[in-house]
Amino acid sequence: MRLGPGDDAAILRLGDRAECVVTVDMLNDGIDFELGRVDPRRIGRKALAVNLSDLAAMAARPLAIVVAVVLPKRGGRELAWQLFEGMLPLAERYQVAMAGGDTNSWDGPLAICITAIGEVTGHGPLLRSGARPGDRILVTGAFGGSLLNHHLDFEPRVQEALLLNADYSLHAGIDVSDGLARDLAHICEESRTGAVVDIDRVPIAPAAYQMQDERTPREHALCDGEDFELVLAVPPEVARDLIASQPIGVPLTDIGEFTAELGLRQRSSTGLITALARNGFEHNF
């Protein structure tokens, strides 16, 4: 094993050269989705997409998945088919082989577990631990309000990660499942750096404005999670090139920098630097 628990996926060495990237995610009824309130095809799609997103976070090319599922007894057969139907277009788009599975049924609720296997590409696997002070924080897409729809329909950033990792020297990466601030903190911890976020530059998704609660759109963008966008640590000169050329279909935004000083901080448009909580709330001191 070259890389064990703690990153988005594990890396195994096979034979002399080949490296195999492995990740697993289990989705559960009532926690990750509500069966009966959503088309099961979207659940199947999400179960695959979250795994592909983990591979994208490592800039690994997806090769195959194995799927284990436990179905409620009532309607289980039809449900299994719908889950599969939901996975199929995504599997085809990314040329992922459905290599095997295990189908069970019980009196309990639906649980679906996918393990995805990929191969290392380009400049090698993108780890959480490679960020260096001075690196820019680049993100794909926009953040917040994923709960309204995006968490079921998001496009894993597979192609974007492969393209970036083939043509550019990136230092670290993660996909945002826990929330932008939290996942940025994960890179910082593994890289033993801190980060300063230029708070006004954080791209806020339209859905973040549609959330009906006490949080601001920006707070949603920082804390909601399940955006499944990439957060990258990129050397400054490479970041400048990327921001200028925008070589992938999805917008890349520079939202700050990694620092030698530990901890998450935010910089306002006036230049004021304050602490940034991992849960994304902007505390006023």
CB of 208 to a copy of itself, least distance (A): 26
Segment near a copy of itself (CB under 8 A); pick from 8-16, 76-84, 256-264, 268-276: 8-16
Cα 160 to Cα 246: distance, rounded to the nearest angstrom:
11
Contact 163, 248 (CB under 8 A): yes
CB of 268 to a copy of itself, least distance (A): 37
174 lines the binding site for a copy of itself (CB under 8 A): no
Q: Measuring CA to CA, how many Å separate 80 from each of 43, 76, 83?
A: 11, 6, 5
Total binding residues for a copy of itself by CB under 8 A?
A: 46
Contact 80, 71 (CB under 8 A): yes
34 lines the binding site for a copy of itself (CB under 8 A): no
Cα 119 to Cα 81: distance, rounded to the nearest angstrom:
28
In this chain, which of 47, 48, 56, 67 binds a copy of itself, going by CB under 8 A?
67
CB of 117 to a copy of itself, least distance (A): 6
Q: Which is nearer to a copy of itself, 24 or 243 (CB)?
A: 24
Segment near a copy of itself (CB under 8 A); pick from 11-19, 33-41, 153-161, 263-271: 11-19
Which residues ranging from 68 to 87 are in contact with a copy of itself (CB under 8 A)? 68-70
CB of 188 to a copy of itself, least distance (A): 21
Which residues ranging from 93 to 152 are in contact with a copy of itself (CB under 8 A)? 97-102, 104-109, 111, 113, 115, 117, 119
CA 82 vs. chain centroid, Å, equals: 24
Find the Cα–Cα–Cα–Cα dihedral 81, 25, 217, 154, rounded to 10°.
-40
CB of 24 to a copy of itself, least distance (A): 4
CA dihedral for 136, 130, 203, 221, sign (positive or negative): negative
Contact 121, 173 (CB under 8 A): no
Q: Which is nearer to a copy of itself, 19 or 241 (CB)?
A: 19
Other CB atoms within 10 Å distance of the CB of residue 265: 17
Cα 114 to Cα 185: distance, rounded to the nearest angstrom:
26
Q: 205: which residues sit within 8 A by CB, 6+ positions away?
A: 141, 142, 143, 144, 145, 146, 150, 221, 227
In this chain, which of 63, 88, 148, 250 binds a copy of itself, going by CB under 8 A?
63
CB of 84 to a copy of itself, least distance (A): 12
Q: Measuring CA to CA, how many Å separate 100 from each of 44, 53, 81, 211?
A: 15, 20, 15, 39
Cα 177 to Cα 189: distance, rounded to the nearest angstrom:
16
Q: Which is nearer to a copy of itself, 36 or 271 (CB)?
A: 36
Q: Which is nearer to a copy of itself, 21 or 208 (CB)?
A: 21
Segment near a copy of itself (CB under 8 A); pick from 3-11, 79-87, 235-243, 277-285: 3-11
Binding site for a copy of itself (CB under 8 A): 1, 4-5, 9-10, 12, 14-20, 22-26, 28-31, 63-64, 66-70, 97-102, 104-109, 111, 113, 115, 117, 119
